[in-house]
Structure 1
Amino acid sequence: MTQTAGRDPGRDETEEERADRMWGELLQELRIAQTGVQILFGFLLTVVFTPKYGKLPDTDQVIYLTTVVLGACTTGALVGPVSLHRMTAGHRIKPQAVRWASRMTVTGLILLLATMTSSLLLILRVASGDSAIAWLVAPVAGWYLLCWFVLPMWARHRAGR
C-alpha cells in the first residue's frame, strides 16, 4: 500500500479521521493524568494550613512552595488541551489542535515528574528528619523517567525501524 498525503500507512483514514481518533485517545490519557494531578495538588494546598507547616525549616518551606508552583503548572498543562479543544472546536483545525494538545500533555508529564519528585523529597525529609534523603528520591525520579519517557521513546524508535 502506498502512502498518500494525509494518510497513515497503517490505517485507512483521512487526516480528519485520524485527528478525531487521536483526540479521543489523548482525552482518555488525560483523564488519568488529570485526576492524579488534581488529587495531589489538592493535598498540597492543604499543607500550608496545618500547624506543622510553620515549624518546617526554611529549606522545607521552599521545597513546599516550589512543589505547589510545579503542581499548579502541571495542572495547567494537563487541563490546557481541554481548553484548546473547546476554544478551537468548529474552526476546522483539529489536526493542529491535536498536535498542540499532545505537546501540552508531554509538557504536563515533564512537570508531573518534577512535581512528584519534589513532593517525594519534601515528604521524605519531613517524615525522616533527614535533610540528606535525596539519595532515596533520585532512583524514584529515574524510575519515572524510565517508565514515562525512556521506554516509550525506545518503543517508538524500535517501531520506526
Structure 2
Amino acid sequence: MSEYQDAQDGRGENEKERADRQWQELIQEIRVAQTGVQILFGFLLTVAFTPLFHELPQTDKTIYIVTIVLGALATGALIGPVAFHRVVSGRRIKPAAVAWASRLTFVGLILLLATCTSALFLVLRVATHNALVPWLVAAVVAWYVACWFGLPLWARIRYTSEK
C-alpha cells in the first residue's frame, strides 16, 4: 500500500495498524451478538426438558428443532472468529483474518435473525394460536432487517463514496 493511500484514509494507518483496529472493533461487535445468541440458545436448550414440551403438537416440536439448530449454527458462527484468531495468531495474516472473521460474523447475524424469527414464531404460535402470528412475526423480522441491515446499508450508500 502506498503512502499516498495511507494518507488518504484519514487515519494515517498502515495495513497492520488498520487490521489491528478493525480486529478490535470486530471483537467488540461480536461480544454484543455473542451474548444475545448465547442467552437465547441457552434458554432454548431448556425448553425440551419442561413438562409442557411433550404435549406440543409435532409441528411445534419441529419448529423447535429448527430453532435449536439455527441457534447452534449462529453460536458457532459468532464464536468462530475467536477460534479463527487463536489458530492463526502470530502467522502475520491479520488482514485476512479480519476479512474471514467479518464474514463469519455476518453469517452469524443472518443465523441469529433466523433463530430469533423461528423462536418468536414458536412462542407466539404456542401462546396465542392466533392467525395473526405470521403477520406479527413478519413485522418483527422487517424491523430486524431494517435495523440490522437496511439502515446501515442506507448510511453506507448515503455517506460514503468510492475513491
Q: TM-score, normalised by structure 1?
A: 0.94
Percent identity (aligned): 61
Q: Which moved more, 1:3-12 or 1:84-93?
A: 3-12
Which residue of structure 2 lines up, in the alignment, with residue 127 of structure 1?
127
Query: Aligned ranges for residues 52-91 of structure 1 at < 5 Å?
Result: 52-91=52-91
2:140 corresponding residue in structure 1: 140
Shift in Å at residue 58 of structure 1?
1.1
Report the RMSD for the aligned CA atoms in angstroms: 1.6
Q: Could you tell me which residue of structure 2 aligns to residue 28 of structure 1?
A: 28
Q: How does 1:102-113 map to 2 (within 5 A)?
A: 102-113=102-113
Gap runs ≥5 in structure 2 = none
Change (3 A) 1:125 1:99: same
Q: How many angstroms apart in 2 are the aligned matches of 1:120 and 1:59?
A: 15
8 Å Cα contact 1:7-1:14 kept in structure 2? no
Q: Answer whether contact 2:6 2:12 (CA < 8 A) is retained.
A: no
Q: Which moved more, 1:131-140 or 1:89-98?
A: 131-140
Deviation digits for residues 34-56 of structure 1, max 9, x if unmatched? 01110100000000001111111
Give yes or no for contact 2:85–2:97 (8 Å, CA) kept in 1: yes
Where has structure 1 moved over 4 Å in runs of 4 or more? 5-8
Instruction: For 1:130 and 1:3, locate their aligned partners in 2 and report how far apart those are by CA, in whole Å.
Output: 62
Deviation string, structure 1 residues 84-133 (Cα, Å, up to 9, x no partner): 00000000000000000000001000001000010000000111123651
How far apart in 1 are the matches of 2:36 and 2:129? Answer: 27
- Kept after mapping to 2: 8 A contact 1:60/1:122: yes
